[in-house]
A = this chain, B = another copy of it.
Amino acid sequence: MSSAARHDVYQAIADPTRRQMLKQLAEKDASIKEIAESFSVSRTAIVKHLHVLSEAKLVSDRKEGRAKIYSLQPAQLMEVKEWVSFFEQYWDNKLANLKNLVEDKE
Protein backbone atom coordinates (compact mmCIF):
# COMPACT_ATOMS: atom_id res chain seq x y z
CA MET A 1 0.00 0.00 0.00
CA SER A 2 0.97 3.67 -0.05
CA SER A 3 3.43 4.98 -2.58
CA ALA A 4 2.32 8.40 -3.82
CA ALA A 5 0.19 10.89 -1.90
CA ARG A 6 -2.88 8.84 -2.60
CA HIS A 7 -4.55 9.60 0.67
CA ASP A 8 -6.09 12.89 1.53
CA VAL A 9 -7.74 13.83 4.81
CA TYR A 10 -11.17 12.69 3.70
CA GLN A 11 -10.00 9.22 2.86
CA ALA A 12 -7.97 9.04 6.02
CA ILE A 13 -10.95 9.68 8.26
CA ALA A 14 -13.25 7.44 6.27
CA ASP A 15 -12.14 4.42 8.27
CA PRO A 16 -13.57 4.01 11.79
CA THR A 17 -10.40 2.40 13.13
CA ARG A 18 -8.37 5.34 11.94
CA ARG A 19 -10.82 7.78 13.52
CA GLN A 20 -10.46 5.94 16.79
CA MET A 21 -6.69 6.00 16.49
CA LEU A 22 -6.82 9.76 16.16
CA LYS A 23 -8.92 9.96 19.31
CA GLN A 24 -6.37 7.91 21.16
CA LEU A 25 -3.49 10.04 19.92
CA ALA A 26 -5.39 13.15 20.94
CA GLU A 27 -5.14 12.04 24.55
CA LYS A 28 -1.52 11.05 24.46
CA ASP A 29 1.32 10.33 22.05
CA ALA A 30 1.82 6.60 21.63
CA SER A 31 4.13 4.04 20.10
CA ILE A 32 2.99 1.60 17.45
CA LYS A 33 2.92 -1.11 20.06
CA GLU A 34 0.76 0.91 22.44
CA ILE A 35 -1.67 1.79 19.69
CA ALA A 36 -1.88 -1.78 18.47
CA GLU A 37 -2.71 -2.98 21.97
CA SER A 38 -5.84 -0.82 21.98
CA PHE A 39 -7.27 -2.52 18.92
CA SER A 40 -8.24 -6.02 17.97
CA VAL A 41 -6.54 -5.96 14.58
CA SER A 42 -2.97 -6.96 13.92
CA ARG A 43 -0.02 -4.67 14.51
CA THR A 44 0.71 -4.82 10.79
CA ALA A 45 -2.74 -3.49 10.03
CA ILE A 46 -2.21 -0.69 12.54
CA VAL A 47 1.04 0.26 10.85
CA LYS A 48 -0.75 0.47 7.54
CA HIS A 49 -3.41 2.70 9.05
CA LEU A 50 -0.68 4.88 10.53
CA HIS A 51 0.88 5.22 7.09
CA VAL A 52 -2.43 6.43 5.71
CA LEU A 53 -2.80 8.93 8.54
CA SER A 54 0.78 10.01 7.99
CA GLU A 55 0.27 10.58 4.28
CA ALA A 56 -2.70 12.74 5.14
CA LYS A 57 -0.48 14.62 7.59
CA LEU A 58 -2.84 13.87 10.46
CA VAL A 59 -0.04 12.37 12.53
CA SER A 60 3.69 12.83 12.83
CA ASP A 61 6.27 10.45 14.23
CA ARG A 62 9.60 10.56 15.99
CA LYS A 63 12.05 7.91 17.10
CA GLU A 64 12.63 7.38 20.79
CA GLY A 65 15.15 4.63 21.28
CA ARG A 66 13.75 1.64 19.51
CA ALA A 67 10.19 2.87 19.68
CA LYS A 68 8.45 5.01 17.11
CA ILE A 69 6.18 7.53 18.76
CA TYR A 70 3.20 9.00 16.93
CA SER A 71 1.60 12.37 17.65
CA LEU A 72 -1.67 13.84 16.54
CA GLN A 73 -1.36 16.60 13.97
CA PRO A 74 -4.87 17.96 13.81
CA ALA A 75 -4.27 20.93 11.51
CA GLN A 76 -5.41 19.14 8.36
CA LEU A 77 -8.82 18.62 9.92
CA MET A 78 -9.47 22.29 9.36
CA GLU A 79 -9.89 21.51 5.68
CA VAL A 80 -12.73 19.15 6.58
CA LYS A 81 -14.24 21.63 8.99
CA GLU A 82 -14.31 24.30 6.30
CA TRP A 83 -15.75 21.97 3.70
CA VAL A 84 -18.57 21.00 6.04
CA SER A 85 -19.14 24.62 7.01
CA PHE A 86 -20.08 25.44 3.44
CA PHE A 87 -23.13 23.23 3.84
CA GLU A 88 -24.25 24.72 7.13
CA GLN A 89 -26.13 27.48 5.32
CA TYR A 90 -28.25 24.79 3.71
CA TRP A 91 -29.25 23.01 6.83
CA ASP A 92 -29.94 26.37 8.40
CA ASN A 93 -32.06 27.30 5.38
CA LYS A 94 -34.05 24.13 5.75
CA LEU A 95 -34.89 25.10 9.29
CA ALA A 96 -35.70 28.65 8.21
CA ASN A 97 -37.96 27.42 5.43
CA LEU A 98 -39.73 25.13 7.80
CA LYS A 99 -40.18 27.99 10.23
CA ASN A 100 -41.65 30.21 7.49
CA LEU A 101 -44.00 27.46 6.48
CA VAL A 102 -45.26 27.10 10.02
CA GLU A 103 -45.67 30.86 10.45
CA ASP A 104 -47.56 31.18 7.17
CA LYS A 105 -50.08 28.70 8.42
CA GLU A 106 -50.83 30.73 11.46
Using a CB–CB cutoff of 8 Å, the interface residues on chain A facing chain B are: 10-11, 13-16, 19, 22-23, 26, 72, 74-75, 77-78, 80-81, 83-88, 90-91, 94
Contact yes or no, A90 B10, CB < 8 A: no
How far does the Cβ of A62 sit from chain B's closest Cβ, in whole Å?
A: 15
B87→A77 contact, CB < 8 A: yes
Please name all residues of chain B whose beta carbon is closer than 8 Å to the beta carbon of A78 when the two chains form the complex: 91
Q: A-side binding surface: helix, strand, loop or mixed? A: helix
- Other A-B pairs beyond A10-B15, A74-B90, A80-B84, 7, CB < 8 Å: A10-B13, A13-B14, A26-B87, A72-B87, A80-B80, A81-B81, A81-B88
A19: B residues at CB distance < 8 A: 10, 83
